Structure 1
């Protein structure tokens, strides 16, 4: 028992010795997230743009704004990419969508409902919901300026059976997407929590 107490004391001392990064804008940056080589854990790198905007970088070098961080659940929410007006193209289409480095401790949580837009007919061979009752239909009816209305769209819950490191868009597939965190079936669109929730493995 004494050895366990000693171990926990040493562990607590080590954790307290780690430097927590300063706030970026209004968002606190909890350990192990790191905005600088002198704070946090470098494997958990995020970026503080101009000291005010916190961002997450995907594998191809595309930056997504961080909307919130929950240190108690090891989760953060990033903003989905913009859909360019009247094109139905996501701004990260050129890099193939969201791609996380599988060697880093981040992955896409299972609480995301992803909606894909402007899809080719090949998507109908997938198990995704592309029916007239798909959540994506509500989105395109409200967001007409994106140019996605009338295109084939689908939604799916990012569950554990899928890759937890990528949301793919491409020409010849689907060219745009968005995501809602913890969407409930009957939630009206004005209550949707738009974002992509990521989670990280703790360093210990």
Structure 2
């Protein structure tokens, strides 16, 4: 007696085979998709909120609460006000920093060596050291670290800002101040600098003739995006990431993509380890085997 497989049975076998093949094609990374925003701030490459997403150079630098994004440094957490991916800049606000309207306790701003190398304060960010003693290093041996800031003076700060006016009242004169870059604070703490407070402003090249009440207070950081083939990875439906143990670059495939070939190894210069590529030829071979078995059984 011939034991023929019905067309319906063959159809079920084909569907089961395809299902098993597609399960193998889905990379394990799809179980933990990368978050793309924190509150209203988009999180794109090279940044990330989960370890293994984004670029490994920036791993563990961000923390997201329910609605706010924070940048982590050795001296604290700083609220991220905005990220401009086109201009490759990020604006931070230090809630413990003194401004023209509020005087805060003594505070240092410090980044790690990696952070200061790959996402340093921008060239148009100026740090202002306030109420410095006459023995301050930046007023003596290292006075070259202070520079002219668009024609602004210490008297202007102490006279035009309510928060800084107290320094003028305490000494009945204008104590020294210093307009400098982040590198000064990187190598010398506020105690060594012998200045009691600091503030920082950005877009300094647009502040000539603008009084301190109208300065934009905060810290702008500049970053670069590593060229690792992420554009090709993104176009194929993947997200750039890395292996958390080896930091080898990965193209992480979305669990919602319907193309395993598009998000696979060989996209640009990305090292797509861990992303399984299941060629459609394998599916075709399996289908041919099923049909062949049907023919053989039918001849028995």
Tell me if both proteins adopt one fold, taking TM over 0.5 as the criterion. yes
1:21 maps to 2:38: no
Shift in Å at residue 112 of structure 1?
0.9
State the Cα deviation string for residues 49-70 of structure 1 (Å, max 9, x = none): 4221111111x25111111111
Q: Which residue of 2 aligns with 1:179?
A: 200
SS at 1:187 equivalent? coil
Report the structure number with the largest CA radius of gyration. Answer: 2
Determine the C-alpha separation between the residues in 2 that align with 1:89 and 1:111.
25
- Residue number in structure 2 paired with 1:117: 130
Partner of 1:194: 217
- For residues 1-204 of structure 1, what are the structure 2 equivalents within 5 Å? 21-44=35-58, 45-58=60-73, 60-80=74-94, 81-83=96-98, 89-90=105-106, 93=107, 97-104=108-115, 105-121=118-134, 122=136, 123-125=138-140, 126-127=143-144, 128-129=146-147, 134-145=152-163, 149-150=167-168, 151-156=175-180, 158=181, 163=183, 166=186, 168-171=188-191, 173-183=194-204, 184-204=207-227
Q: By how many angstroms is 1:103 displaced?
A: 2.5
**Structure 1 residues 61 and 188: alpha-carbon distance in aligned structure 2, compared to 1, 3 A threshold:** closer
1:60-114 CA distance string (max 9 Å, x none): 2511111111111221111144239997634xx2xxx222222342212111122
Deviations along 1:116-174, whole A, 9 cap, x unmatched?
1121212322132599x744443433443467522432223x3xxx7388385423512
Distance in 2 of aligned mates of 1:61 and 1:129: 25
Closer/same/farther in 2, CA of residues 87 and 175 from structure 1, 3 Å limit: same
Structure 2 CA distance for partners of 1:196 and 1:142, relative to 1, 3 Å: same
Query: 1 or 2, which has the higher helix percentage?
Result: 2
CA distance in 1, matches of 2:212, 2:68: 26
**Which is strand-richer, 1 or 2?**
1
Alignment RMSD: 3.3
Tell me how far 1:190 sits from its aligned partner. 3.9
Report the TM-score, using the length of structure 2 for normalisation.
0.49
Structure 2: runs of 5+ lacking an equivalent = 1-29, 169-174, 228-300
Q: Is the 8 A contact 2:69 2:80 kept in 1?
A: yes
Task: Give the aligned partner of residue 242 of structure 2.
Answer: none
Tell me the matched-pair count. 176
Instruction: Structure 1: state its 5+ residue gaps.
Output: 1-16
Taking the aligned partners of 1:75 and 1:20, their CA distance within structure 2 comes to: 21
Query: Shift of residue 197 of structure 1?
Result: 1.1
CA deviation after TM superposition for structure 1 residue 42, in Å? 3.9
- The normalised TM-score by structure 1 is 0.69
In 2, Cα distance between equivalents of 1:78 and 1:65: 6
Partner of 2:21: none
